[in-house]
Structure 1
Amino acid sequence: MSFVIRPALADDLQHLYEMAKLTGGGFTNLPPDRASLTGKLEGSNAAFSRQGDDIQPETFVLALENTETRDVRGTCQVFTAVGRQYPFYSYRINTLTQYSQELDRTVTAELLSLVNDLGGTSEVGGLFLHPGERAGGLGLLLARSRYLFIAAHRERFGDRILAELRGIIDERGGSPFWDAIGGKFFGMSFQEADEFNAINGNQFIADLMPKHPVYIAMLGEEAKKVIGLPHPSGRAAMRMLENEGFSYQGYVDIFDGGPTMLAETDKVRSIADAHRGTVSDAALGKGEKALIAAGRLKDFRCCYGAREIDSEAVRIDAQAAELLRIGEGETVWSIAR
């Protein structure tokens, strides 16, 4: 079977909706709501259609297509500048040290402070691969295709990039972190708050969330032990992000306490190592296994293939050329698999 990454289309709505129902909650960027997904696809189409090079708050939605069946089996998203249109809230873990001369004692406490520090940062997110396709490196293709897209459209993205990982969700679909903090102020369950945020935005957070720092020591044990930890299903994603140069810098999600990973855009491995070259041969036999991408904006496509690099020229295999719909003389971006 052959798979290709391409821009998501309006006709992909049903496939995206079916995948959204499989996420199990806590997946804000892929809500099981047709109206929200339709709006996201419309916004993505507008982003792919815009020709300017300036940074605007946009979302690009990509789809993983099985080219034999035409089914969409995965998706991922790239955000150009979060927090420009609506505030982007995080909790930042800070340390407060105090000393009592009378007791001759120093006390150190960790606090959660509600911040907008990451406004304007680009983001990679919304990655979901259908459970029936979790083999053959398709998750890696989805994840790294986003970096080739950024490399090919670098002027549309910021100098920093983040990735939010889903936090710990219990068997009930609830969040110990939310129950300890947000649930006390909003009168709604984690699932209700997460769904409301996905559909309506997070202004309600600014309206009702306590503005003063929260002392972590005052939280229950169940909440304390999940702060900054990814959901078990996200551990592999965290390792992939670390391999790309992302690191956890003390920011956590305000809903489930999951870690936010950060990196300098130009230092992300798959961006820094991306090779831009002109196709000199589109019928390569054997070569280095690679991710290969071609086309700008609406014409962007990415797949696995074989390559040989000779300075600014690159040879690729015929199947990759067919999937990318390109031939000799055209420009491709590629990174070793």
Structure 2
Amino acid sequence: MMIVRHAAHRDLDDIYRLAQRAGETGIGLTSLPRNKEILAERITRTTRTLAGLAEKSDESYLFVLEDTSLQKIVGVSAIEVAVGLNEPFYNFRVATQVHASKTLNVYKALDTLFLSNDHTGCSELCTLFLDPDYRKNQNGKFLSKVRFLFIAAFQSHFKARLIAEMRGYSDQNGYSPFWNALGYHFFNMDFATADYLSGIGQKVFIAELMPRFPVYVDLLPAEARAVIAEVHPQTLPAAKVLMSEGLQYQGYVDIFDAGPTLEANTADLRAVKESRLLTVKITEQIETTDIHYLVANDQYQDYCVLLINNCVSEGDTLMVTPAQAQALHVREQDEVRVLALDKMENH
């Protein structure tokens, strides 16, 4: 059985193994560094958040996907409650600057990149990684969309605006055309080093070294211009999942690789608008369907979610097996939150 729950310190070795596997896929997943101390701190932040002990700037939820048959963690995903409150959160705003002269009969609209902190205080989806051996059976969608269901259940814990930074283009050797054309000239370090330092929280150097004036896109090499707001091919499936839930590109890109930032109003998320609460009825006889559903127990500190294909009635009852009820820590007549994995046209 596959189940998503909050990360705990007993999961550290498995999460570290996942971080090592993530490193094998190339540069770009900065929020899952191959550093056990930092990963342990991510888990501590989750436990402190759940206990109500964390400052708003440190509140974070780290989820794990567990293969219960092997007692093995095979995926992670996370939500930062409010970015940029204890250190600057940077990106580039892609804007237009007009240069015109009536005397010369010249009018030129130029794309520019402005260093921005506009997303300060937003909630952020991050740290999505699934063991390559488990990239099947809807596990990727399950692990990603759990975060939306959690937000739907506990909206008061999150901000009105939600963002997600998508990995930008770099080749198999870690070469980033955008970084080489821009960032390298100010930082004098390779893309992998800058990306790693940013990912582990050492972002002061960004403020110290990045240009404060707008960057004219037309002055960049063609290969750099071509990748602005482009999603890395390996990240494209994850981006499409987020867009199916309501997030869209709104003109902001990463300062290192120019990957797009997706964003949405939390209230407009599909999970917020379409998830519903049903009453549990436990039975051995379950009718199944081709449609998969996320089913969560809505217990804040003991949050658990299953992906099931049980038939969901139009009424207010959900039939679950004893094993499913046990996994969700629910009993007869308890309520669970249910959402179709994919958007249903006639929902």
Give CA deviations for 1:294-322 in whole Å, capped at 9, x if unaligned. Answer: 14233000111225345544333444323
Aligned-residue offset at 1:149: 1.0
Give the direction of change, closer, same or farther, for the CA distance of 1:84–1:314 in structure 2 (3 Å limit).
same
Give, in whole Å, the separation in 1 of the partners of 2:334 and 2:121.
33
Count of residue pairs brought into register by the alignment: 335
Moved more, 70-79 or 275-284: 275-284
In structure 1, the residue matched to 2:34 is: 32
Query: Counterpart of 1:222 in 2: which secondary structure?
Result: helix
Residue 190 in structure 1 maps to residue 185 in structure 2: no
> Which residue identity does 2:118 align to in structure 1?
D
> Which residue identity does 1:5 align to in structure 2?
V
State whether residues 284 and 318 of structure 1, in contact with CA within 8 Å, keep that contact through their aligned partners in structure 2.
no
State whether residues 92 and 113 of structure 1, in contact with CA within 8 Å, keep that contact through their aligned partners in structure 2.
yes
Give CA deviations for 1:171-210 in whole Å, capped at 9, x if unaligned. Answer: 2213211111111111111100111112233121112111
Aligned-residue offset at 1:98: 2.0
In structure 2, the residue matched to 1:244 is: 245
Aligned-residue offset at 1:26: 1.2
Aligned-residue offset at 1:285: 0.8
Percent identity (aligned) = 34
> Which residue identity does 1:10 align to in structure 2?
H
Moved more, 178-187 or 69-78: 178-187
Give, in whole Å, the separation in 2 of the partners of 1:79 and 1:282.
38
In structure 1, the residue matched to 2:345 is: none
Give, in whole Å, the separation in 2 of the partners of 1:173 and 1:182.
14
In structure 1, the residue matched to 2:330 is: 326
Q: How does 1:172-183 map to 2 (within 5 A)?
A: 172-183=173-184
Query: Counterpart of 1:113 in 2: which secondary structure?
Result: strand
Aligned-residue offset at 1:9: 1.2
Aligned-residue offset at 1:245: 1.2
In structure 1, the residue matched to 2:206 is: 205
Moved more, 21-30 or 253-262: 21-30
Unaligned runs of 5+ in 2: 342-347
Unaligned runs of 5+ in 1: none
In structure 1, the residue matched to 2:69 is: 68
Query: Counterpart of 2:78 in 1: which secondary structure?
Result: strand
Give, in whole Å, the separation in 2 of the partners of 1:282 and 1:147.
28
Q: How does 1:211-226 map to 2 (within 5 A)?
A: 211-226=212-227
> Which residue identity does 2:2 align to in structure 1?
F
Give, in whole Å, the separation in 2 of the partners of 1:298 and 1:309.
28
In structure 1, the residue matched to 2:114 is: 113
In structure 2, the residue matched to 1:227 is: 228
Give the direction of change, closer, same or farther, for the CA distance of 1:256–1:282 in structure 2 (3 Å limit).
farther
Give CA deviations for 1:212-234 in whole Å, capped at 9, x if unaligned. Answer: 11111111112111110010011
Q: How does 1:1-337 map to 2 (within 5 A)?
A: 2-23=1-22, 24-50=26-52, 57-281=58-282, 283=284, 285-287=286-288, 289-305=292-308, 306-337=310-341
Aligned-residue offset at 1:329: 2.1
Aligned-residue offset at 1:287: 4.5
State whether residues 57 and 83 of structure 2, in contact with CA within 8 Å, keep that contact through their aligned partners in structure 1.
no
Aligned-residue offset at 1:120: 1.0
Give, in whole Å, the separation in 1 of the partners of 2:304 and 2:284.
18
> Which residue identity does 1:235 align to in structure 2?
L
Give the direction of change, closer, same or farther, for the CA distance of 1:30–1:276 in structure 2 (3 Å limit).
same
Aligned-residue offset at 1:334: 1.0
Query: Counterpart of 2:133 in 1: which secondary structure?
Result: helix
State whether residues 293 and 334 of structure 1, in contact with CA within 8 Å, keep that contact through their aligned partners in structure 2.
yes
Aligned-residue offset at 1:243: 1.1
Give the direction of change, closer, same or farther, for the CA distance of 1:51–1:297 in structure 2 (3 Å limit).
farther
State whether residues 304 and 320 of structure 1, in contact with CA within 8 Å, keep that contact through their aligned partners in structure 2.
no
Query: Counterpart of 2:312 in 1: which secondary structure?
Result: strand
Moved more, 11-20 or 76-85: 11-20
Query: Counterpart of 2:235 in 1: which secondary structure?
Result: helix
Give the direction of change, closer, same or farther, for the CA distance of 1:56–1:280 in structure 2 (3 Å limit).
farther
State whether residues 284 and 307 of structure 1, in contact with CA within 8 Å, keep that contact through their aligned partners in structure 2.
no
State whether residues 152 and 296 of structure 1, in contact with CA within 8 Å, keep that contact through their aligned partners in structure 2.
no
Give, in whole Å, the separation in 2 of the partners of 1:336 and 1:327.
22
Give CA deviations for 1:120-152 in whole Å, capped at 9, x if unaligned. Answer: 111111110000011100001001111111112
Aligned-residue offset at 1:273: 0.9
Query: Counterpart of 2:234 in 1: which secondary structure?
Result: helix
TM-score (norm 1): 0.94
Give the direction of change, closer, same or farther, for the CA distance of 1:255–1:293 in structure 2 (3 Å limit).
same
